[in-house]
Amino acid sequence: MGLGADDNGAEVHAGDTFGSGGEFSKTLWRCKVTIPKSVKIGGKRYKVCVSKTNEMYTLGEIDYDKRVINIYTKTKARKIPKSEQQVVFWHEVVHGILEEIKPKLSKDEQFVQGMAEHLVDVFKSARF
């Protein structure tokens, strides 16, 4: 299950990089979840930085050594909508969780993306 499709109809995911002209579907993931300033993963505090990047297509990344999760608002290629930033945040959190409990699984992008998509779906559909 992907997050959308690029201009050519190819399935895309939050952690994916896009080729030239790739565009994330603007109608997907209307999620009202605020990105926090920090989170604890496996008892370790990670700072969450929301900023621009000079990278062309990277939407986010996690640095386990520095304990930082970077979520990008703009790349060299395009501006990243807030709803997409939220999905990227959860994608990186799943990487962090898996790195703590099963590092090999943390490298499985398909699994990580599936977990992130389901988490976003849970938060989108939650009733309080």
Decide: 69 and 90 in contact? Cβ < 8 Å: no
Domain housing 121: 4-125
- For 16-42, how does the pLDDT look when each residue is reduced to its tens digit (9 = 90+)? 443 333 333 333 344 456 899 999 999
Joined tokens for residue 17: 């990089």
Residue 1: pLDDT over 60: no
Is the predicted pLDDT of residue 15 greater than 90, yes or no?
no
pLDDT at residue number 118: 92
Torsion-angle region of residue 26: left (phi > 0), alpha (psi -120 to 50) or beta? alpha
The total of structural domains in the chain comes to: 1
Do residues 72 and 52 touch, judged by C-beta distance below 8 A?
A: yes
In three state form, how does the secondary structure of the chain look?
CCCEECCCCCEECCCCCCCCCCCCCCCCCCCCCCCCCEEEECCEEEEEEEEECCCCCCCEEEECCCCEEEEEEECCCCECCHHHHHHHHHHHHHHHHHHHHCHHHHCCHHHHHHHHHHHHHHHHHCCC
Quick one: which of 84, 83, 38 has its CA closest to 58? 84
- Mean pLDDT of all residues in the chain? 80
Q: What is the mean pLDDT of residues 56-70?
A: 96
